[in-house]
């Protein structure tokens, strides 16, 4: 039992990590897909809802920020249409936390992640008009974008594709501002969904792993 719990904790930790670095690597490292024989993992809302139920039953709340984030990356129509959302196994207060966070998460895409597109021009930029116009155009274009994934709203190829006409300075500063916004969003993620802060969750994770280890060794 201790062994199974330890394995479960390890798998869940890889799929629903506690840090942004781990989140960015999770597509590669997540082993839960192979374990459960799920092709499309991570990213399956029905599986994430099952994991949320498991997290509640096994008392492993540190995976919830990432799991709630995951649920909130799909359309409301899809989320509310999930059989697991409606079968009565997920408590109303959990669903309310997810929905309240869903709205905050979606809002954060423009208010926080894309702020670098509408902040004041850089003093040191040698062609403020051109750079301002490039950013303004992209900001207009993003009105058509899906805004449910704040952490992934700009991916690697997007920078050259959409902002390649910026001067070198503005491009670099924009990337830094976006990465800083991601870090700030991640820090705030538990709070968005009404969960304890990361420090608390990380502490609980550490204790659980130690316990599982101790039980496995027969202490």
What are the residues binding Zn ion (CB under 5 A)? Answer: 125, 131, 167, 170
In whole angstroms, how close is the CB of 125 to Zn ion at the nearest point? 3
| Helix ranges (DSSP H) in 112-197 | 128-141, 156-163, 168-192
In whole angstroms, how close is the CB of 118 to Zn ion at the nearest point? 14
In whole angstroms, how close is the CB of 138 to Zn ion at the nearest point? 14
Considering the complex, state which of residue 131 and residue 151 has its C-beta at the smaller distance from Zn ion: 131
Q: How does DSSP classify residue 195?
A: P
Q: How does DSSP classify residue 117?
A: G
Considering the complex, state which of residue 20 and residue 171 has its C-beta at the smaller distance from Zn ion: 171
| Helix ranges (DSSP H) in 59-127 | 64-71, 76-81, 83-86, 92-111
Q: Phi-psi region for residue 100, left (φ > 0), alpha (ψ -120 to 50) or beta? A: alpha
Residue of 47, 71, 69, 51 whose CA lies nearest to 9: 51
| Residues contacting residue 182 through CB under 8 Å, at least 6 positions apart | 20, 113, 150, 151
Chain centroid to Cα 163, Å, comes to 24
Considering the complex, state which of residue 91 and residue 133 has its C-beta at the smaller distance from Zn ion: 133
Phi, psi of 154 (to 5 degrees): -115, 125
In whole angstroms, how close is the CB of 117 to Zn ion at the nearest point? 13
In whole angstroms, how close is the CB of 167 to Zn ion at the nearest point? 3
Considering the complex, state which of residue 58 and residue 130 has its C-beta at the smaller distance from Zn ion: 130
In whole angstroms, how close is the CB of 161 to Zn ion at the nearest point? 18
Considering the complex, state which of residue 147 and residue 171 has its C-beta at the smaller distance from Zn ion: 171
Considering the complex, state which of residue 167 and residue 204 has its C-beta at the smaller distance from Zn ion: 167
**Whose structure tokens read 């502490």?**
203
């Amino acid at each position: 039992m201790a062994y199974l719990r330890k394995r479960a904790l390890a798998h869940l930790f890889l799929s629903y990590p506690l840090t942004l670095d781990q989140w960015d690597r999770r597509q590669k490292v997540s082993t839960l897909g192979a374990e459960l024989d799920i092709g499309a993992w991570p990213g399956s809302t029905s599986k994430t809802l099952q994991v949320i139920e498991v997290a509640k039953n096994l008392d492993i709340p540190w995976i919830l920020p990432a799991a709630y984030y995951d649920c909130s990356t799909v359309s409301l129509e899809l989320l509310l249409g999930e059989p697991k959302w409606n079968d009565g196994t997920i408590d109303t207060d959990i669903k309310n936390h997810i929905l309240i966070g869903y709205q905050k998460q979606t809002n954060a895409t423009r208010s926080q992640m894309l702020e670098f597109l509408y902040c004041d021009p850089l003093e040191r930029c040698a062609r403020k008009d051109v750079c301002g116009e490039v950013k303004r155009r992209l900001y207009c274009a993003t009105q058509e974008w899906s805004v449910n994934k704040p952490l992934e709203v700009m991916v690697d190829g997007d920078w050259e594709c959409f902002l390649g006409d910026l001067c070198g300075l503005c491009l670099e500063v924009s990337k830094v501002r976006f990465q800083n916004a991601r870090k700030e969003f991640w820090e705030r993620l538990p709070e968005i969904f009404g969960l304890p802060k990361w420090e608390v969750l990380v502490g609980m994770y550490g204790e659980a792993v130690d316990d599982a280890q101790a039980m496995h060794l027969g202490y």
